[in-house]
A and B are shown apart, each in its own frame.
Chain A
Amino acid sequence: MGVIGTVLILCLVFVAIFAPLLEPYSYQSQNIEIMNSPPSLTHLLGTDDFGRDVFSRVIRGARISFVVGVLSVLISVVIGVIVGSIAGFYGGVVDIILTTIADLTWSMPAILIALLIVAVTGAGLESVVLAIGLSYWAQYARLIRGQILSLKSAVFIEATRSLGASDFVLLFKHLIPNSLSPVIVAATIGIGNAIVLEATLGFLGMGAQPPTPSWGAMMSNGTAYLFIAPWMIIFPGLAMMITVLGFNLFGDALIDVMDIKNKDSI
Chain B
Amino acid sequence: MSFLKVKDLQVEFRVDKKMIKPIEGVSFQMQKGEVLGMVGETGSGKSLTAHAIVGLSTLAGGVIGGSIKFEGQDLLSLSEKEMQSIRGAQIAFIPQNPMTSLDPVYRVGDQIIEALRQHVKISKREAKLQVIEVMARLNIPNPERVFHQYPHQLSGGLKQRIVIAIGVCTNPKLLVADEPTTALDVTVQAQIIRLFKEMTVERGISLFLITHDLGVIAQVCDKVAVMYAGNMVEFGSIEALFKNPRHPYTKALLDCIPTIGMAKGSLSAIYGSVPSSGVYPSGCRYHPRCPYADEQCRKTMPPLLEVEVENWVACYKYYGKK
Within 8 Å by CB, do A and B touch in the complex?
yes
B62 to chain A: closest residue by CB: A266
Main secondary structure of the interface of A (DSSP, over half): loop
Q: A61 CA to B175 CA in the complex, in Å?
A: 68
Give residues of chain A (124-151) contacting chain B, Cβ–Cβ below 8 Å: none
B61 to chain A: closest residue by CB: A264
Scan A250-264; emit 1 where CB is below 8 A from any B CB, else 0: 000000000000001
User: Which residues of B are found within 8 Å of A264, using beta-carbon distances?
Assistant: 60-61
B56 interface contact, C-beta 8 A: yes
Scan B25-55; emit 1 where CB is below 8 A from any A CB, else 0: 0000000000000000000000000010000
User: Which residues of B are found within 8 Å of A266, using beta-carbon distances?
Assistant: 51, 56, 59-60
Q: A253 CA to B59 CA in the complex, in Å?
A: 27
Give residues of chain B (50-76) contacting chain A, Cβ–Cβ below 8 Å: 51, 56, 59-61
Q: A116 CA to B61 CA in the complex, in Å?
A: 54
Q: A264 CA to B51 CA in the complex, in Å?
A: 15
Closest CB-CB distance, B169 to chain A, in whole Å?
24
B15 to chain A: closest residue by CB: A263
Give residues of chain A (230-266) contacting chain B, Cβ–Cβ below 8 Å: 264, 266
Closest CB-CB distance, A262 to chain B, in whole Å?
14
B47 to chain A: closest residue by CB: A266
User: Which residues of A are found within 8 Å of B56, using beta-carbon distances?
Assistant: 266
Q: A133 CA to B51 CA in the complex, in Å?
A: 53
Closest CB-CB distance, B94 to chain A, in whole Å?
16
B51 to chain A: closest residue by CB: A266
B60 to chain A: closest residue by CB: A266
Q: A266 CA to B56 CA in the complex, in Å?
A: 9
Closest CB-CB distance, A102 to chain B, in whole Å?
29
Q: A264 CA to B16 CA in the complex, in Å?
A: 12
Closest CB-CB distance, B297 to chain A, in whole Å?
33
Q: A264 CA to B61 CA in the complex, in Å?
A: 10
Q: A264 CA to B60 CA in the complex, in Å?
A: 8
User: Which residues of A are found within 8 Å of B59, using beta-carbon distances?
Assistant: 266
Closest CB-CB distance, A136 to chain B, in whole Å?
34
A265 to chain B: closest residue by CB: B60
Q: A42 CA to B90 CA in the complex, in Å?
A: 77
Q: A264 CA to B56 CA in the complex, in Å?
A: 14
Q: A264 CA to B59 CA in the complex, in Å?
A: 11
Closest CB-CB distance, B56 to chain A, in whole Å?
7
Q: A266 CA to B60 CA in the complex, in Å?
A: 6
Closest CB-CB distance, B143 to chain A, in whole Å?
32
Q: A51 CA to B280 CA in the complex, in Å?
A: 74
Closest CB-CB distance, A265 to chain B, in whole Å?
8
User: Which residues of A are found within 8 Å of B61, using beta-carbon distances?
Assistant: 264
User: Which residues of A are found within 8 Å of B60, using beta-carbon distances?
Assistant: 264, 266
B57 to chain A: closest residue by CB: A266
Q: A266 CA to B51 CA in the complex, in Å?
A: 9
Closest CB-CB distance, A264 to chain B, in whole Å?
7
Closest CB-CB distance, B278 to chain A, in whole Å?
15
Q: Write the residues of chain B forming the contact surface with A, with a CB cutoff of 8 angstroms.
A: 51, 56, 59-61
Q: Write the residues of chain A forming the contact surface with B, with a CB cutoff of 8 angstroms.
A: 264, 266
Q: Which 5 A-B pairs have the closest CB atoms?
A: A266-B60, A266-B56, A264-B60, A266-B59, A264-B61
| A-B pairs with beta carbons under 8 Å apart, 6 shown | A264-B60, A264-B61, A266-B51, A266-B56, A266-B59, A266-B60
